[in-house]
Amino acid sequence: MISKEVKEIKNHINSIKKHFDNKVLGLTQYFDGKVSVLTEDSDGKISVIAEQYSDIKSDIKGLKSNVNKLQDDMDIVKSGIEIIKAELKKKVDYDEFSLLEKRVARVEAKLKA
């Protein structure tokens, strides 16, 4: 009689174990599906970020090129300004020229008289 009861208990334990295994399997499949969806979603987002990074990197290269060109142009402008400043030092300003004209006119007037 005890062996019959032991067998019934073992059968009951086996049925509980099968039921538990089925529940665990179901939950595992459920969570695998959720993880798969999350993985696909994050992979898509990562791909978008990678594309944007590539575009940004390309834009930065272009900006660096433009900055370098502007720097070269600025160096040319600076050297041109230095030349202009040197040439302007050799020139007479308007007031000095006006005074000189008046003096020459007076000298010429005296010479004619």
Q: What is the pLDDT of residues 90-99, one digit of tens each?
A: 888 888 889 9
Q: How far is CA 89 from CA 19, 83, 97, 98, in A?
A: 102, 10, 14, 18
Give the predicted TM-score (pTM) of the model. Answer: 0.46
- Residue 16's H or E segment, with its range, is helix 2-90
Residue pLDDT, tens place only, 24-50: 999 999 998 888 888 888 988 898 898
3-state secondary structure of 86: helix
Mean pLDDT of the chain: 90
